Structure 1
Amino acid sequence: MSDKPEFVHLHNHSEYSLMDGVIRLTDAKGRPSEAIKDLAESGAKGFAVTDHGNMYGAVEFYTAAKAVGLKAIIGCEMYISKGTRFDRGHSQKENCHLTVLAKNYEGYQNLMELCSIAFKEGYYYDPRIDKELLAKHSKGLVVLSGCLKSELNQSILSGDLAQSEKLVTWFRDNLEPDSYYLEIMDHGLEKQRQVTSALLELNRRTGIPLVATNDCHYSVKSDHDAHDARVCIATGRKLVDTERLKFESNEFYIKSPQEMHKLFAFAPQSLSSTLKIAEMCNLKIPMDQMLLPEFTVPEGFTQDTYLEHLCREGLRERFPGGLSPEYTERLDYELGVIRRMGFSGYFLIVWDFIKHARSIGVPVGPGRGSGAGAIVAYALRITNADPIQHKLLFERFLNPDRKSMPDLDIDFADTGREKVIQYVRQKYGEECVAQIITFGSLGAKLVVRDVGRVLDVPLSRVDEIAKKIPTGPNVELIEAMKGPELQELAKDPLVARLRALSLKLEGLKRHTGVHAAGTLITKEPVVRYTPLAKGAKSDVVTTQYDGDWCPKLGLLKVDFLGLRTLSIIDDAVKFIRKRHDPKFDIDLVAMDDPKTYEMLRTAKSLAVFQLDSQGIRDLLFRIKPTVFEDIVSLIALFRPGPMQSGMLDMFVDRKHGREEVAYDHPLMETVLKDTYGCMVIQEQVMELSKKLAGFTPGEADGLRKAMGKKVPEELEKMRDKFVKGGGVNKVSPKVANKIYDQMVKFGGYGFNKSHSVAYGIVAYQTAYLKTNFPVEFMTAVLTSEIGHSSIGAEDKENKLVTYLDEAKRMGLKILPPDVNKSESKFDIQDDGKIRFGLLAIKNVGSGAAESIVAAAREKPFSSLDDLCSRVDLHAINKKTIESLVKAGALDGLRPGEPPSLVRARLLTQIDDVVGRQQKVKADLDKGQGLLFGAGGSSSDGPKSAAGDSAIKPLSEHDTLAFEREVLGFYMSGHPLLGVKAQLRAVATHEAAQLTPAVTTPVRLAGMISKLRKMISKKTGEPWVICTLEDLSGETTLLCFPKVYASGLSHLAKVGALVAATGRPSFRGEEAEGASAEVIVDEMSPLDLAVSRYAKRLRLRCEATVGVETLEALRGALEAHRGPCAVVLEQETPEGMALLDVDQRVVLSAALFEAVEAILGERCWRIDAGSAPPAAPPPRRFPTRTQ
Structure 2
Amino acid sequence: MSKPEFVHLHNHSEYSLMDGVIRLSDKDGKPSQALKDLANSGAKGFAVTDHGNMYGAVEFYSNAKAVGLKAIIGCEMYISKGTRFDRGHSQKENCHLTVLAKNFEGYQNLMQLCSIAFTEGYYYDPRIDKELLAKHSKGLVVLSGCLKSELNQSILSGDLTQSEKLVTWFRDNLEPDSYYLEIMDHGIEKQKQVTQALLDMSKRTGIPLVATNDCHYWKPDDHEAHDARVCIATGRKMADTERLKFDSHEFYIKSPEEMHKLFSFAPESLSSTLKIAEMCNLKIPMDQMLLPEFKVPPGFDQNSYLEHLCLEGLKERFPAGYRPEYAERLTYELGVIKRMGFSGYFLIVWDFIKHARSIGVPVGPGRGSGAGAIVAYSLRITNADPLEHRLLFERFLNPDRKSMPDLDIDFADTGRDRIIAYVREKYGAECVAQIITFGSLGAKLVIRDVGRVLDMPLMQIDEIAKKIPVGPNVHLHEAMQGPELQELAKDPQVKRLLDLSLKLEGLKRHTGVHAAGTLITKEPVVRYTPLAKGAKSEVVTTQYDGDICPKLGLLKVDFLGLRTLSIIDDAVKFVKKRHDPKFDIDAIPMDDAKTFEMLRTAKSLAVFQLDSQGIRDLLFRIKPTVFDDIVSLIALFRPGPMQSGMLDMFVERKHGREEVVYDVPLLESILKDTYGCMVFQEQVMEISKKLAGFTPGEADGLRKAMGKKIHEDLEKMRSKFIAGCGVNKIKDKIATKIYDQMVKFGGYGFNKSHSVAYGIVAYQTAYLKANYPIEFMTAVLTSEIGHSSIGAEDKENKLVTYLEEARRMGMTILPPDVNKSEMRFDIQDDKIRFGLLAIKNVGSGAAETIVAAAREKPFISLDEFCARVDLHAVNKKAVESLAKAGALDGIRPGEPPHAARARLLAAVDESVGRQQKVRADLDRGQGLLFGAAPEASIAASQSSLSEIKPLSEHDTLAFEREVLGFYFSGHPLLSVKAQLKATATHEVSQLAPSITTPVRLAGMISKMRKMISKKTGEPWVIITLEDLTGEVTMLCFPRTYASGANNLAKIGAFVAATGRLSFKGEDAGAGTPELIIDELIPLDSSATKFAKRLRLKCDVTVGTEK
Q: TM-score band, normalised by the shorter chain?
A: over 0.9
Show CA shifts across 1:71-123 (max 9, x none). Answer: 11111111112222122222222211111110011111111111111111111
The match for 2:366 is: 367
CA distance in 1, matches of 2:259, 2:1039: 59
Deviation of 1:1046 (Å): 4.8
Which residue of 1025, 1032, 1035 corresponds with 1:1035? 1032
**CA gap 1:1082/1:195 in 2 versus in 1, 3 angstroms:** closer
Secondary structure of the equivalent of 2:1055? strand
Higher RCO (Cα < 8 Å, 6 or more apart): 2
- Cα distance in 2 for partners of 1:1044, 1:908 equals 40
Partner in structure 2 of residue 965 of structure 1: 962
2:904 corresponds to 1:901: no
Query: How far off is 1:409 after superposition?
Result: 0.8
Match of 1:997 among 994, 997, 1000: 994
> Which of 850, 855, 858 is residue 856 of structure 2 equivalent to?
858
The answer to whether the 8 Å contact 1:987/1:1005 transfers is yes
SS at match of 1:786: coil
On the 8 A contact 1:788/1:796 being kept in 2, the answer is no
Amino acid at match of 2:376: A
Instruction: Specify the alignment match of 1:226 in structure 2.
Output: 225
Please state how far the C-alpha of 1:188 moved relative to its aligned partner.
2.4
Q: Are positions 1:651 and 2:658 aligned together?
A: no
Does the C-alpha gap of structure 1 residues 468 and 313 become closer, same or farther in structure 2, counting only changes over 3 Å?
same
1:1057 paired with 2:1054, answer: yes
CA distance in 2, matches of 1:538, 1:1014: 31
Structure 1's unaligned 5+ residue stretches are 1096-1166, 1172-1186
* Distance in 1 (alpha carbons) for counterparts of 2:1057 and 2:721: 59
For the 8 Å contact 2:371–2:757, the answer to whether it is kept is: yes
Q: Is the 8 A contact 1:865 1:938 kept in 2?
A: no
Given that 1:984 and 1:1168 are in contact with CA atoms closer than 8 Å, whether structure 2 keeps it comes out as no
Shift in CA distance, 781/795, structure 1 to aligned 2, threshold 3 Å: farther
Q: How does 1:511-590 map to 2 (within 5 A)?
A: 511-590=510-589
- Supply the distance in 1 between the matched residues of 2:842 and 2:933 (Cα, whole angstroms): 24
Shift of 1:641: 2.4
Counterparts in 2 of 1:100 and 1:1010: CA distance versus 1, 3 Å: closer
* Preserved CA contact (<8 Å) 1:1093 1:1169: no
Paired position in structure 2 for 1:847: 845
CA distance in 2, matches of 1:1082, 1:159: 64
Residues 989 and 1003 in structure 1, CA contact (< 8 A), matched pair in contact too: yes
Deviates more, 1:1052-1061 or 1:205-214: 1052-1061
**What SS does the aligned partner of 1:1058 have?**
strand
1:1089 alignment counterpart: 1086
For 1:108-187, list aligned pairs within 5 A: 108-187=107-186
Question: Whose Rg is larger?
Answer: 1
Partner SS state of residue 941, structure 2: coil
Q: Distance in 1 between matches of 2:619 and 2:549?
A: 40
Structure 1 residues 695 and 404, CA, compared in 2 at 3 Å: closer, same or farther? same
Structure 1 partner of 2:917:
919
Equivalences for residues 967-986 of structure 1 within 5 A: 967-986=964-983
Please state if 1:443 is matched with 2:442.
yes
Change (3 A) 1:211 1:520: same
CA shift in 2, pair 1:205/1:733, >3 Å: closer
**Residue of structure 1 in register with 2:951 after alignment:** 954
Q: Which amino acid aligns with 1:475?
A: V
Q: 1:611 to 1:1062 in 2, by over 3 A?
A: same
Name the counterpart of 1:1131: none
Q: Map 1:159-308 to 2 at 5 A.
A: 159-308=158-307
**Hey, what does 1:685 align to over in structure 2?**
684
Question: Match of 1:111, as an amino acid?
Answer: L
Read off the aligned partner of 1:875 and give its amino acid letter.
A
Pick aligned residue for 2:831 from 828, 833, 841: 833
Moved more, 1061-1070 or 345-354: 1061-1070
Task: For residue 497 of structure 2, give the secondary structure of its aligned residue in structure 1.
Answer: helix
**Aligned-pair distance for 1:513?**
0.5
Greater than 6 Å deviation, 4+ residue runs: 934-939
Displacement of 1:375: 0.7
SS at 1:942 equivalent: helix
CA distance in 2, matches of 1:37, 1:935: 87
- Go from structure 1 to structure 2 and tell me whether the alpha carbon gap of 1:889 and 1:99 turns closer, same or farther (over 3 Å shift): same
The match for 1:1006 among 1003, 1006, 1023 is 1003
Distance in 2 of aligned mates of 1:131 and 1:656: 74
Counterpart-to-counterpart distance in 2, 1:192 and 1:737: 63
- Tell me the CA shift for residue 890 of structure 1: 0.8
Q: Mean Cα displacement is larger for which, 654-663 or 901-910? A: 654-663
Separation in 2, partners of 1:289, 1:937: 77
Counterpart Cα distance in 2 of 1:233 and 1:617? 39
The one-letter code matched in structure 2 to 1:780 is A
The DSSP-based 3-state class of the residue aligned with 1:297 is: coil
- What is the aligned partner in structure 2 of residue 32 from structure 1? 31
Q: For residues 805 and 39 of structure 1, what CA distance do their matches in structure 2 show?
A: 63
1:911-942 Cα shifts (integer Å, max 9, x gaps):
22222222222333333333332798899663
1:625-684 residue CA offsets vs partner (Å, 9 max, x unmatched):
121111111112222222233322232222223233333333332222222233222222
Judge conservation of contact 1:693–1:722 (CA < 8 Å) in 2: yes
Whole-angstrom distance in 1 between the partners of 2:727 and 2:452: 62
SS at structure 1 position matched to 2:50? coil
Deviation at 1:782, TM superposition (A): 0.6
SS in 2 for 1:800: helix
- Structure 1 length as normaliser, TM-score? 0.89
Determine if contact 2:993/2:1070 at 8 Å carries over to the other structure.
no
User: SS state of the match for residue 893, structure 2?
Assistant: coil
SS in 1 for 2:859: coil
The counterpart of 1:876, out of the listed 874, 877, 883, is: 874
CA distance in 2, matches of 1:934, 1:522: 66
- Residue-by-residue CA offset, 1:248-307 (whole Å, 9 max, x unaligned): 222222222222222222222211111111111111111132211111111110110000
The aligned residue for residue 350 of structure 2 is 351
Whole-Å Cα distance in 2 between the matches of residues 290 and 281 of structure 1? 25
Query: In the aligned structure 2, how far is the partner of 1:121 from the partner of 1:394?
Result: 45
| Maintained 8 Å contact 2:61/2:73 | yes
Change (3 A) 1:418 1:207: same
Secondary structure of the residue aligned to 1:984 is: helix
Structure 2: distance between partners of 1:1041 and 1:158: 50
Distance 1:861-1:339 versus aligned 2 partners, 3 A rule: same
- Number of the residue aligned with 2:930: 932
CA drift at 1:875: 2.2
Ranges in structure 2 where 5+ consecutive residues have no aligned partner: 1098-1106
Alignment partner, residue 1100 of structure 2:
none
Aligned to 1:823: 822
Q: Which amino acid aligns with 2:980?
A: L
Q: Tell me how many residue pairs correspond in the alignment.
A: 1097
- Deviation at 1:439? 0.8
Shift of 1:716: 4.3
Shift of 1:1017: 5.8
1:395 aligned counterpart, secondary structure:
helix
SS of the equivalent of 1:76 reads strand
After superposition, the CA RMSD in angstroms is 2.2
Correspondence for 1:88? 87
Q: Distance in 2 between matches of 1:273 and 1:129?
A: 26
Secondary structure of 2:671's partner? helix
Determine if contact 1:996/1:1071 at 8 Å carries over to the other structure: no
Partner-residue secondary structure (3-state), 1:988 = coil
Q: Is the 8 A contact 2:795 2:989 kept in 1?
A: no
TM-score (norm 2): 0.96
Q: Which whole-Å CA distance do the structure 1 matches of 2:199 and 2:58 have between them?
A: 35
Deviations 1:782-809 (A, max 9, x none): 1111112431114485211110111011
